[in-house]
Amino acid sequence: MAKTVTVVRVGINDETKTVKFDTDHPQKHICGKPVLLFDSSMHTGGTMCRVVGEALKLGASSVATYSLVIKIGSNFIPTFWGVIIDDTDRIFFMLDKIPNGRLDSGPERTKDGQPRKIQTVFIRRLCEEHLKAPQLQSKVRSLDRVTWGDRHFDMQAGGHKECTYVLQTGKEIAGYLSLHFSDPGSMFVTEIAVDHSLTGKGYGAVLMRFADTLARQSNCEWVRLNAIENKITFYKGFGYKLIPGRDKISLDEEVYWPMERKVVSLSFKTD
């Protein structure tokens, strides 16, 4: 049976910042249905964030987002994207195929062969809106005792070298990633966690891929982190290796091991 796809143009009123759907009855087309939002380029991410929120208010069963180009300073990272560029960059495409970054890269079908429901998954830079959100429980004591307010303060006081990104499923925070660029040519992942009730859904892998994208975009040669002992195999799966000569680090009852991976860089030949 053929499925009907409804295409609706949407925009933001510049004065009131309200979302405007180009249809008289947007709820009719959105309520109880999966929604895919497209945008050509994202600067601050404010527009996309407002439209996602409005679609959820109208009862969308799930929301996925795509943008061809994302500025590195954007506060909203969509589910799918083409390329991340510097805030001062401009881009011109002459490609047969647009490369996609996927936040939700799970199987297209469930184990019993049924189509898998599209997840409402996106990443946002931690902001004041998140400060009242429930604390995520990763079951790692040293991470769970740090509040969203603590991380937000570090971002404000760190001169833009400290940053936390939260991974959201709808309105809920499923995981987060904290990092800093204190060393020239390297990025350090200080925190990465997923709520213990959501483990096994691939959200940790989502955050790891996003960290790798940020490192490459920032011209880093290395990504480094301290891996909690029971997650060393997880990090090895992403190409991280124990740093020779570095001893383990003890924190409370936790044991961490310094690990690193060399960032894969792209080289281009010119005639």
Per-domain boundaries in the chain: 1-120, 126-265+267-271
CATH class of the domain comprising 126-265+267-271: alpha beta
DSSP-derived secondary structure letter, 170 = T
Q: What average pLDDT does the segment 168-190 reach?
A: 90
pLDDT at position 88 over 80: no
pLDDT score for 270: 41
| Secondary element (H or E) of residue 28 | helix 26-30
- For tokens 């959501």, the residue is 198
| Secondary element (H or E) of residue 124 | strand 121-125
pLDDT at position 93 over 60: no
DSSP 30-49: HTTSEEEEEEEEESSSHHHH
Q: Rounded to two decimals, what is the model's pTM?
A: 0.66
pLDDT digits (tens, 9 = 90+) for 209-237: 888 888 887 888 899 999 999 999 999 99
pLDDT at position 116 over 90: no
Nearest in space to 10 (alpha carbons), one of 77, 61, 63, 76: 63
| CB atoms near residue 44 (< 10 Å) | 13
C-alpha 176, offset from chain centre = 8
Nearest in space to 231 (alpha carbons), one of 205, 270, 267: 205
pLDDT score for 126: 94
Nearest in space to 72 (alpha carbons), one of 48, 103, 44: 44
pLDDT digits (tens, 9 = 90+) for 3-51: 778 888 888 887 788 888 888 888 888 999 999 999 988 888 988 999 9
Mean pLDDT of the chain: 84
- For tokens 């609706």, the residue is 8
Both tokens assigned to 63: 């929301």
DSSP-derived secondary structure letter, 96 = S
